[in-house]
């Protein structure tokens, strides 16, 4: 054989091998395919052929599955140069399948003038394992503490729980496709991971942003006298989680206000606490809770009437020692009869209490 022709053919073979090696098939089928009632799943791939000698009309894409080589159809008007898919029907009583892609084409070698058959095979064997339990959507991605958030999906059961920031929340199982959870007490202005946790493992749901909530306090302001007692109601707007929901209340007039600790009982949305006035003063109550905006309640504690009465009596007693007190006289003759005894006839005209 002529040496020049030999080297030319060898070079062409090496070039063809190199071009074929740079070609590739990419699996575009989702790694986790949700189970559906029809049991039909679309397998898709894209092809990159780095071979200038390819005969365009000769390209044939295949999926090899269930020991069968099945042609795929080309999809038009997409971002990929070559995109193919096949609707695979999973046989009854089968949980999944194994598959890989194959692309065949012909190349026209202008150097040798010979048309050759070539093929590209996907780099690995893939698994089709339809997921029977999955999350589709978390309907709200942000909200305040205590808000109820629906989670949609499939395969939920009554043992499933929703975790936010690694902590179990108040979860309600609605159906196999719907669950809800209450946003737990967490610092506002941050994003937290949400997970579905159950006997079948953990599934990441998404991220939830906690917004600042408003605390309702009634009355909005407080005016009491020293020694007087009043009730103040704190409402968080949702059912308190296990162990109750504490509210930290401080004041800038500690000598004027006597108050018990504030904890909304488990399962309740509000609590009524007793506030007692002490020394005279004017200031505020400052109520804070995790995830809530600070609530300020103005407070005025006045001098008690009993204190003023006692002081008046003491003053009168001191004055009585220094000045004679004139006897009281009736304002009229009729008025003097008010002290007369009640006669039997008069007694008969008085009805018993409650009638």
Q: Would residue 80 count as lying in a domain?
A: yes
| Whether residue 116 is found in the same domain as residue 164 | no
Find out whether 50 and 22 touch, Cβ atoms under 8 Å: yes
Q: Would residue 178 count as lying in a domain?
A: yes
| Whether residue 7 is found in the same domain as residue 124 | yes
Q: What radius of gyration, in Å, describes the C-alpha atoms of the chain?
A: 43
Q: Which residue has the higher pLDDT, 132 or 294?
A: 294
- Domain edge (last residue) among 128, 153, 183: 128
Number of domains in the chain: 3
| Whether residue 201 is found in the same domain as residue 259 | no
pLDDT bucket at 114, cuts 50 / 70 / 90 = confident
Domain hosting residue 240, numbered range: 216-302
- Domain edge (last residue) among 211, 237, 266: 211
| Whether residue 120 is found in the same domain as residue 171 | no
| Whether residue 168 is found in the same domain as residue 207 | yes
Q: Which residue has the higher pLDDT, 327 or 102?
A: 102
Geometric angle at alpha carbon 224, from 284 and 235, rounded to 5°: 60
Query: CATH no. for residue 164?
Result: 2.60.40.10
Q: Would residue 251 count as lying in a domain?
A: yes
| Whether residue 27 is found in the same domain as residue 123 | yes
Please provide the average confidence, as pLDDT, over all residues in the chain.
81
Residue in the structure block whose two tokens are 């959870």: 181
pTM recorded for the entire structure: 0.57
Query: CATH no. for residue 296?
Result: 2.60.40.3450
| Whether residue 297 is found in the same domain as residue 224 | yes
CA neighbor of 32 nearest in space, from 178, 271, 201, 161: 201
| Whether residue 28 is found in the same domain as residue 123 | yes
pLDDT bucket at 316, cuts 50 / 70 / 90 = low
Query: CATH no. for residue 39?
Result: 2.60.40
- Domain edge (last residue) among 211, 232, 257: 211
Pairing, β 270-277 against β 229-235: antiparallel
| Whether residue 49 is found in the same domain as residue 76 | yes
| Whether residue 152 is found in the same domain as residue 205 | yes
Go through the chain and tell me how many residues it has.
Answer: 355
Geometric angle at alpha carbon 123, from 13 and 203, rounded to 5°: 165
Residues 298, 303: Cα–Cα separation, whole Å: 17
Per-residue pLDDT tens for 174-220? 999 999 999 999 999 999 999 999 988 899 999 999 999 999 999 99
């Amino acid at each position: 054989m002529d040496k020049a022709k030999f080297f030319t053919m060898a070079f062409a073979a090496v070039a063809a091998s190199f071009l074929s090696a740079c070609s590739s098939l990419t699996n575009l089928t989702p790694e986790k395919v949700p189970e559906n009632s029809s049991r039909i799943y679309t397998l898709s791939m894209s092809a990159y052929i780095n071979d200038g000698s390819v005969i365009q009309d000769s390209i044939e894409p295949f999926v090899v599955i269930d020991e069968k080589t099945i042609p795929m159809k080309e999809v038009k008007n997409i971002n990929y140069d070559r995109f193919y898919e096949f609707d695979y029907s999973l046989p009854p009583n089968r949980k999944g399948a194994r598959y890989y892609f194959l692309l065949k084409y012909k190349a026209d070698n202008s150097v040798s003038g010979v048309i050759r058959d070539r093929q590209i095979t996907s780099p690995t064997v893939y698994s089709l394992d339809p997921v029977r339990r999955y999350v589709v959507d978390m309907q709200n991605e942000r909200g305040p503490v205590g808000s109820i958030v629906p989670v949609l999906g499939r395969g939920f059961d009554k043992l499933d729980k929703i975790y936010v920031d690694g902590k179990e929340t108040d979860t309600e199982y609605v159906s196999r496709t719907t669950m809800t959870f209450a946003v737990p007490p967490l610092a506002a202005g941050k994003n937290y991971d949400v997970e579905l946790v159950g006997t079948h493992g953990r599934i990441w749901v998404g991220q939830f942003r906690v917004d600042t909530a408003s605390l309702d306090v009634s009355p909005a302001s407080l005016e009491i006298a020293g020694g007087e007692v009043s009730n103040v109601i704190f409402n968080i707007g949702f059912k308190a989680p296990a162990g109750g929901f504490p509210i930290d209340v401080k004041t800038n007039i500690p000598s004027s206000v006597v108050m018990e600790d504030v904890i909304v009982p488990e399962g309740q949305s509000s609590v009524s606490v007793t506030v007692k006035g002490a020394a005279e003063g004017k200031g505020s109550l400052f109520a804070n809770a995790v995830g809530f905006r600070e609530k300020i309640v103005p407070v005025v504690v006045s001098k008690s009437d009993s204190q003023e009465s006692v002081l008046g009596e003491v003053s009168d007693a001191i004055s009585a020692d220094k000045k004679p007190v004139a006897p009281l006289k009736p304002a009229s003759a009729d008025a003097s009869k008010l002290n007369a005894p009640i006669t039997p006839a008069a007694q008969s005209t008085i009805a018993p209490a409650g009638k």
